Chain A
Amino acid sequence: MEREAMEFDVVIVGGGPAGLATAIRLRQLAVQHDHELTVCLIEKGSEVGAHILSGAVMEPRALNELIPEWRTLGAPLHTSVTDDRFLFLTARRALRLPTPPPMHNEGNYIVSLGNVCRWLAQQAEAAGVEIYPGFAAAEVLYHADGRVKGVATGDMGRTKEGAEGPNFAPGMELHAKQTIFAEGCRGSLTKTLFERFDLRRDIDPQVFCLGVKELWEVRPEQHRLGRVIHTIGWPVDQATYGGSFLYHLENNLVSVGFVLGLGYENPYLSPFEEMQRFKTHPAMRETFAGARRVAYGARAISAGGFQSIPKLTFPGGLLVGDGAGFLNLPKIKGSHTAMKSGMTAAESVFKLLRAGEQAGTEAIDYLHRLKNTWLWDELYRVRNIKPAFRWGLWLAIAYGAIDTYLFRGKAPWTLRHKADHTSLKPAALCKPIDYPKPDGVLTFDKLSSVFLSNTNHEENQPCHLTLKDASVPTRLNLEVYAGPEQRYCPAGVYEFVEESGSKHLQINAQNCVHCKTCDIKDPSQNIHWVTPEGGGGPNYPNM
C-alpha cells in the first residue's frame, strides 16, 4: 500500500531531553546563520512529557549552554538541592556515609523531567520546530543504496489480527536529509540500527538498570524542600546492584524510587517488590505517614557508560541521548548528557546541511566534536565504577574510592561489562524471595500502581510485545527460570495463567508502561518490543 510522504531537512524521533535539545539547537543555528531549515520531531506519547520518567536531580550545565536565559523563560527548575545525604541501609538501621564525589549536587535542581520536557517543547515550537506527539516511529526507511531515508509512523486502526479496521489510517513516511534517533534507553528503532550498521562492533554490550518510581504528596511537616537522599544496601543483597532515591521537591511532593541493575541473577527477584519493600524501612516510612501516592511509573536506563557507547553515526542519521547510552551512572544522571549529545549532534548536522551536502551523508565529525566536550571526559572518568559492582557492594565501593581518588578516573585499565540477559541463574539454584503483602497504604500491588500511570492502549490492536518463538515462555522461561517476566515487568504485563492443566503466557499489552525491561532481560532475547499505536502508553503527570 502506498503511504503519503513528507519531506523535511531533519526528522527527530523522540521528544525527550536529547531530541528536544537537538531540535532547539538546530533551529538556533538556522536563525543565527539565516539558513532555511525544517525540523520535525515526532513523539510516541500522547503529548511531550507523557512518557518521561526520571528521578530527577538535574544538572543544569547543558541547559545553561542551550538556553542561558532559562530562568526568565520560566523553566520548571524550582527547587535547588540544599541537603544531600547518602545512606547505607541494613534491615533496621541507616548509616550515613560520606557522599561520593559524583553524587554531590551543589548547583543542581530537583525537577520533574517530564515538566522540563514540556517546557523545552514550548521553547522548541517557539523556535520553529514542528512537534507531533501521538505519532510513533515504527520503521526506519532506507534508500536503495542503504542510506537512511527517514522513518515511517505506525499504522492506526489495525485490528488485533492485523487487518485494516473501519477507522484504519495508514502511517506516514517522513523523509529527511538527516534522521536523528533520540528514542531513549533501548529504543526500538535504534536496536535495529545497531544490527543494520553493525554499530556495536568491538564495544561492550550495553547494560541496564530499571528504575521504579512513585510520586507522593506528603504532609507538610514531613516535607524538607530541597533534600536529596540516596541509599545503598537493604533491601537488596550485596551481590545485587541497586539503590534508592528520595527527593523532596516543590508543592509537598516527594519523588521516591528504586533503581536496580538488570544484571541480577536470581529469577525470583522483583524490582517492583524491592521498591515497595524499600519504603517500609524504619528510616523511610516516616516520610510517607499520612501521605498520598499520586503517580507511579517505571523506565529502564542505560548503565554501560563509556565502554558501551556504540558507533554514533551512519549514512543519513545518528544517535543521541540515552538511546546511545550517554547516562552517567555513578551520578545517576543522564538528562544533562542527553541534552549535550543532542546539541553537539545538531552542530554537526547543521554544518553538513549548510554546506549543501546531499541527503544521507554521514555526520562523521559528531564523534570528533563529542570527544572535545565535557560529556566525553565525564563519562570516561567514571567508566570503571559500575562494572566493579560485579565484585559485590563493598569491594565496589573500595575500588570506586581508589579509582576516583587515586587515579582520578584515569586508571590505565577499563573494566568490562556482561550483557544483562545472560546473568539469570536457573531457578533451581536460587532461593525464592518472600516479599511482604502490600498494605494498600504504604505498599501496593502492581495493578493499583499501573492504574496511577494513566496507561492505556487501544485494546483492539496488534500486540506490541512480540515473541520470536511462542514456545519459549513456557519451554524455557517457565521451566528453567520460573517465569521471570512475571516479576521483572513492573506493570503486570506478563502473566502465566493455567488453563486445562497447563500454563501459558498471557500478555496484557494494554498495561505496558514502555519501560523496555522485557526486551532487555528476557534470557533468550525472545521478546521484541515494537511501538504500539501512537498516543498509547503511560500519561505521566509531573514525573
Chain B
Amino acid sequence: MKILVAVKRAIDYNVKARPKSDGTGVDLANVKMSMNPFDEIAVEEALRLQEAGKVTEVVAISIGPTACQETLRTAMAMGADRGILVQTDDEVQPLAVAKLLQALVAKEAPGLVILGKQAIDDDSNQTGQMLAGLLGWPQGTFAAKIDVGEGTVEVKREVDGGLQTVALKLPAIVTADLRLNEPRYVKLPNIMKAKKKQLDVVSPADLGVDITPRLKLVKVAEPPARAGGVKVADVQELVAKLRNEAKVI
C-alpha cells in the first residue's frame, strides 16, 4: 500500500506572527518558515507504518512556491521515499488544495492519505474533510492513534470530552492531531540522502485544476491589547460587575 502525505510550508511555530501594517496579511519577509507541525506528525505516522511493514511507499506532496521544495526535502530527510511539488505562486485556498490532492490521488492511487488536521498559519481545518468529500472516501479526522488492518484502518479520534474510535474501509483519509506521535529528529546523513531523492514538479494546470480563490481576505489585524484587570473587594462586587459591566451573567 502507498501513502500520500500532504505537507505545507508555514510560518515557523516559534515565530510571533505579525500583521503587515496595511492589514493585507501576515508579514513573512525573511521570517523563518518550516513544515506545518501537524503535517510533520502526519509524515512521522506514515513512516512508522512503513517501518512496521504495512506500507510500501510514502510520497510527500506540497503545494505552493519553489521554496516548498525545502519542505519536501525535510519530509524526505525524515524518510519519505519521494516528493511531488504542485508549484504555484498564487494563493491556494483549502478547496483548491483538496482538488489538487484529489487529482494526485487519481494519479498515484494510494491506499491512505494522511494530512495534518490543520495548518498553523490559517487554522482552516478543512482540507482533509473536503478531500474525503471529493473522493467519496471515509475519513478519520483528529487522529490520536491509527491501526492499519487488512483493508481497514481504525482511527482513535480526539473529540470533545474523550476519544472516539472509528473503523474505516481503505482507501481512506486520516488527519493527524497533536498526540498521534512525536516526530523524529532529522539526521544529517538523511538530509544529504534526501537531496538525491526524486522530486517531481507539476503545475495546477497539469493536473487540470482551477485554483482561483473563492474566499476574499478582508483584513488581518492584531487582536486588541488586553485591558488591565481590576481588584474587587468581595463576591458581591464581583457579581455586580459581571452582571452590570461585563454583562455575562
- Residues of A bordering B, CB below 8 Å: 4, 6, 46-47, 49-50, 112, 114-115, 118, 130, 132, 134-135, 153, 156-157, 166-167, 169, 172, 217, 252, 292, 294, 451-452, 454-456, 539, 541-542
Contacts and interface: CB of A to CB of B under 8 A. Distances in A.
Contacts, number: 58
Interface stretch (B8-16, B150-158, B200-208): B8-16
Contacts of A153: 188
A311 B34 CA distance: 40
A541 B15 contact: yes
Interface string B29-43: 111101000000000
B31 to A, nearest CB: 5
Contact of B189 (A6, A50, A167, A451): A6
A130 B192 contact: yes
A46 B32 contact: yes
Nearest to B191: A132
Given A49-B30, A132-B191, 11 more contacts: A6-B192, A46-B12, A47-B32, A50-B32, A134-B186, A252-B21, A294-B18, A454-B15, A455-B14, A541-B31, A541-B32
Contacts of B214: none
Interface string B170-201: 00000000000011111111011000000000
Tell which of A49, A134, A452, A455 has the most Cβ of chain B within 10 Å: A134
A294 B30 CA distance: 13
Contacts of A166: 182
A292 B21 contact: yes
Kindly list the 8 A-B residue pairs having the minimum CB-CB distance in the complex, ordered from nearest: A169-B185, A156-B185, A456-B14, A539-B32, A541-B31, A172-B188, A454-B15, A454-B14
Contact of B30 (A6, A46, A112, A217): A112
A157 B30 CA distance: 28
Contacts of A130: 192
Nearest to B15: A454
B187 to A, nearest CB: 6
A541 B188 CA distance: 25
B184 A167 contact: yes
A541 B14 CA distance: 11
B200 to A, nearest CB: 21
28 contacts: A4-B189, A46-B12, A46-B14, A46-B32, A46-B34, A47-B32, A49-B30, A50-B32, A114-B30, A115-B30, A132-B191, A134-B186, A153-B188, A156-B185, A157-B185, A167-B185, A169-B184, A169-B185, A172-B188, A252-B21, A292-B21, A454-B14, A455-B14, A539-B12, A539-B32, A541-B15, A541-B30, A542-B29
Nearest to B186: A134
B77 to A, nearest CB: 10
Contacts of A112: 30
Contacts of B21: 217, 252, 292
Nearest to B31: A541
A431 B31 CA distance: 42
Contact of A118 (B30, B34, B185, B187): B30
B182 A167 contact: yes
Given A166-B182, A454-B32, A172 B189 contact: yes
B121 to A, nearest CB: 15
Contact of A135 (B16, B31, B188): B188
Contacts of A118: 30
A211 B22 CA distance: 31
Nearest to B21: A217
Given A6-B188, A169-B184, A539 B30 contact: no
Contacts of B185: 156-157, 167, 169
Contacts of A50: 32
A202 B100 CA distance: 67
A159 to B, nearest CB: 13
A171 to B, nearest CB: 9
A371 B122 CA distance: 55
Nearest to A251: B29
A169 B30 CA distance: 29
A522 B218 CA distance: 52
Contacts of A294: 18
A46 B31 CA distance: 11
Nearest to A169: B185
